[in-house]
Amino acid sequence: MSAEMESISITVCGDGGTGKSSISLRLVRSKWTEEYDPTVQDSYSVTRVVDGRTYHLNLTDTAGQEEYRGLWAQQNLDSDAYLLVYDITNKDSLAALEYFNDLVEMQADTRPPGAVPHVKIVAGNKCDLAENRQVKSAEGMAWARANGCGFMETSARNVVNIEETFMLLVRRVVEARESVKNGKQLQSPYGHEQAPSHPKVETSHMDDYDDDDAGGGAAKAGCCSIM
């Protein structure tokens, strides 16, 4: 079974203090901590079953602090997928994603013709702190669309959209690989990989979303998602 297991590398990146490690530990260890301990870089391995197939996820939780960004740029530019994390209570953390996205896109330009395109999803984390929100959901979604990314809002503390986000990353990587294998170019409305069909998660419809009038499901926690 293990010999047939497909491997997927995922880099979690974003500014310091956005909750990258909390998201990673929620997935890997079902653990959450409120203490902020700046990460230089940690690597984890975990298996997940998605659509009946088992995948081995190699997860890299990277440094967000500026003094470590040179290390990030040297070591994490050949992943299958990138989870770009910002903090909905810190507007500057969304702007900081430009730096990481630029690095990812510069690396993409060096890939040989026919290489599998990388996958990117933006996660607006800490949506359990909706009363302190500085970044509206529509702003996060607009940034994601402009940069060819899927979009989720997550809460590592309340376990909102953690598994769903990584399941979506897996599905998009698998579909990107299949499209290259079959000689097809898979496009989304945003110019990058189109997400395949997937089980519905609790979401609000982002085009009609109002931060002050969130509906049921994940929106009750101030969270939402669009894939």
pLDDT tens digits, the chain, 227 residues: what are they? 444 789 999 999 999 899 998 999 999 887 555 544 545 457 888 999 999 999 999 998 876 545 444 555 555 467 899 999 999 999 999 999 998 899 888 877 777 888 899 999 999 999 999 999 999 999 999 999 999 999 999 999 999 999 999 999 999 999 999 999 888 765 543 444 333 333 333 333 333 334 433 333 344 455 665 55
**Tokens read off for 117:** 């395109």
Give the integer Cα–Cα distance in Å for 23 and 125.
8
Looking at residue 38, its pLDDT comes to 47
Q: Tell the residue number behind the tokens 């079959």, with chain if given.
A: 182
Looking at residue 103, its pLDDT comes to 85
Q: Report the predicted TM-score, pTM, of the whole model to 2 decimal places.
A: 0.78
The angle subtended at Cα 111 by Cα 42 and Cα 182, nearest 5°, is 105
Give the integer Cα–Cα distance in Å for 105 and 127.
27
Give the integer Cα–Cα distance in Å for 145 and 192.
10
Other residues' Cβ atoms within 10 Å of the Cβ of residue 174: 19
Kindly give the pairing relationship between strand 6-14 and strand 81-87.
parallel
Give the chain's count of helices (H) and strands (E).
6, 7
Looking at residue 107, its pLDDT comes to 78
Q: Which residues contact 84 (CB under 8 A, 6 or more apart)?
A: 13, 14, 97, 100, 101, 120, 121, 122, 123, 149
Domain-by-domain residue ranges, the chain? 2-226
> Which residues of 19-155 form beta strands (DSSP E)?
41-50, 53-62, 81-87, 119-125, 150-153
**Tokens read off for 107:** 């690396």
Give the integer Cα–Cα distance in Å for 210 and 85.
22
Tell me which H or E stretch contains 11.
strand 6-14
**CATH match for 2-226 among 1.10.3720.10, 2.40.50.220, 3.60.15.10, 3.40.50.300:** 3.40.50.300
Looking at residue 43, its pLDDT comes to 83
Looking at residue 51, its pLDDT comes to 95
Q: Tell the residue number behind the tokens 């997400």, with chain if given.
A: 195
Other residues' Cβ atoms within 10 Å of the Cβ of residue 50: 19
